[in-house]
Amino acid sequence: MDFGQLIKQYENCPCGQKHQCLIGDICIGSGITADVGRILEENGFGKSLLLVADETTLSAAEGIEKSLNGFRVTKHIYPTLRVATMTEVRRIKSYFEQGIEGVLAVGTGSIHDTCRKACAEADKKLCLYATAPSMDGFASYSAPIVDHNFKITYEAKCPEVIIADTAVLARSPVELKSAGFGDMMAKYVALIDWQVSRLITGESYCSRVAALTAKATNTVFSMADKVTAESEEGAKKIFEGLLLTGIAMSFTKTSRPGSGTEHIMAHYVECKELIENKVPNYHGEDVGVMTLLMLKQYDSILARDSVTAFPERNDWEDIKKTYGALAPDMMKLNTPDTITDGIDPTLIEKNFSAIKDVVRSVPRYEEVYAAMKKAGCKLTYKDIGKSRELIKEAFYYHPYMRRRLSLRRLINMTDIPLIEI
């Protein structure tokens, strides 16, 4: 796939938005680990390079150090890194005082997020060498970083260069590939939420960007049976799908094309567990399970012919109590008003049939469940080690932690009951 060509096609989009993606070069191929040094040189990386990895990702990227002949390489190798924290961002930045010109991040997730934030702060070039098709943040302009046990989304940079060796991706741990598949299925909920918000609030929307996400998601959906096999083709398709939705998100400068209410719900659970110092699951595992819950809820809408809508009734004392230590941050997003305040309930009633059409535009819960099962994904809250109480709480309360309209949030304004968990 020619990503440069694709990015060009979105210039001068009829929607009027300026769609940009600052990734300079994307190299995906079998055995290209041996070419990493050459790719960095071609993309103007200086000779003084910081290589950040953990022991697992470095050994997965066999041959990468050899390819860096001619570079002065400083290494920062973690035993393992499951959480990106401000402490680690500062640690990476401290290397820049020693004349480091660019960073090669080997891995995904926390290693990548840490480097994206550090390089953004210090204006250093960044290359991501991805070792697994596990999440969708490759092209993102923001990074979730934990500071004092709070996870905050900071401005970060997207890497100038992304490299993926499909042979390495195929050999990556199966749970990471399955997590990537789960993260892709979330796009169905994201697409529903984005379109529903556009219907009800007139939120900015681009049908071409939405179509890009839908196509990438459908392609990955159709690869479900290849996820757990050591298939280069399967791993490549998932990686491309994740990358494309990342590019879609950079086009809109919002996460709308790739993340809906299921991501917020996963975020809620993660924040609550961080307070208790629990090590988070892989992002796509939690997100996949939340996706199924949302699709089940959204499915319940299809059974209705009409709906009765009313202004949302919020008990803020109860909401604050449930958020606990997170309440002040949550309240900032709901003060002086909350996102549903400006919504005329009759708009929901009038648009109900259009909302149902939006829900029908993506596969049903049953179909996504079957695909995720084939793909080796975790499917229930028990599979991801959560209690029913926490999931129920997250399902009810998560919408308040983001100032963004979802169909899940709109249900609060209708007589449609929430599903039993």
**Residue with Cβ nearer Zn ion (153 or 346):** 153
According to CB under 5 A, which one of 130, 206, 210, 330 is a site residue for Zn ion?
206
> Is the bond into 336 cis (omega within 30 degrees of 0)?
yes
Binding segment (CB under 5 A) for Zn ion, from list 42-50, 180-188, 364-372, 396-404: 180-188
**Residue with Cβ nearer Zn ion (406 or 414):** 406
Least Å distance, CB 370 to Zn ion, is 21
- Of the candidates 157, 61, 148, 165, the residue with the CA atom closest to the CA atom of residue 112: 157
Angle, CA 20 vertex, CA 1 and CA 100 arms, to 5°: 85
Spell out the residues 6+ positions from residue 294 whose beta carbon is closer than 8 angstroms to its own. 189, 260, 261, 262, 265, 408
Binding segment (CB under 5 A) for Zn ion, from list 59-67, 135-143, 271-279, 318-326: 135-143
Q: Is 15 in the site for Zn ion (CB under 5 A)?
A: yes
Q: Is 165 in the site for Zn ion (CB under 5 A)?
A: no
- Of the candidates 130, 129, 134, 222, the residue with the CA atom closest to the CA atom of residue 178: 134
Binding segment (CB under 5 A) for Zn ion, from list 22-30, 100-108, 116-124, 201-209: 201-209
Binding-site residue total for Zn ion (CB under 5 A)? 7
Least Å distance, CB 79 to Zn ion, is 25
Q: Is 229 in the site for Zn ion (CB under 5 A)?
A: no
**Residue with Cβ nearer Zn ion (102 or 260):** 260
The binding track of 83-122 with respect to Zn ion, each residue x by CB under 5 A or -, is ----------------------------------------
Task: Give dist(CA 284, CA 208) in Å, integer.
Answer: 25
Angle, CA 367 vertex, CA 238 and CA 261 arms, to 5°: 70
Least Å distance, CB 251 to Zn ion, is 7
Task: Give dist(CA 343, CA 410) in Å, integer.
Answer: 9
Distance between start and end Cα atoms, the chain: 41
Instruction: Please answer whether residues 350 and 356 qualify as being in contact, where contact means their C-beta atoms are separated by less than 8 angstroms.
Output: no
Task: Give dist(CA 79, CA 64) in Å, integer.
Answer: 18
According to CB under 5 A, which one of 6, 13, 122, 390 is a site residue for Zn ion?
13
Interface with Zn ion in residues 312-351 (CB under 5 A): none
Binding segment (CB under 5 A) for Zn ion, from list 178-186, 239-247, 297-305, 378-386: 178-186
Least Å distance, CB 291 to Zn ion, is 10
Q: What letter would DSSP give residue 21? A: -
Least Å distance, CB 378 to Zn ion, is 15
According to CB under 5 A, which one of 136, 232, 262, 273 is a site residue for Zn ion?
136
Interface with Zn ion in residues 22-81 (CB under 5 A): none
Task: Give dist(CA 33, CA 163) in Å, integer.
Answer: 8
Q: Are strands 150-155 and 161-165 parallel, antiparallel or unpaired?
A: unpaired
Q: Tokens for 382?
A: 């028990």
Q: Is 175 in the site for Zn ion (CB under 5 A)?
A: no
**Cα Rg of the chain, angstroms:** 21
**Residue with Cβ nearer Zn ion (64 or 190):** 190
Q: Is 183 in the site for Zn ion (CB under 5 A)?
A: yes
SS3 83: coil
Residue ranges binding Zn ion (CB under 5 A) = 13, 15, 17, 136, 183, 206, 208
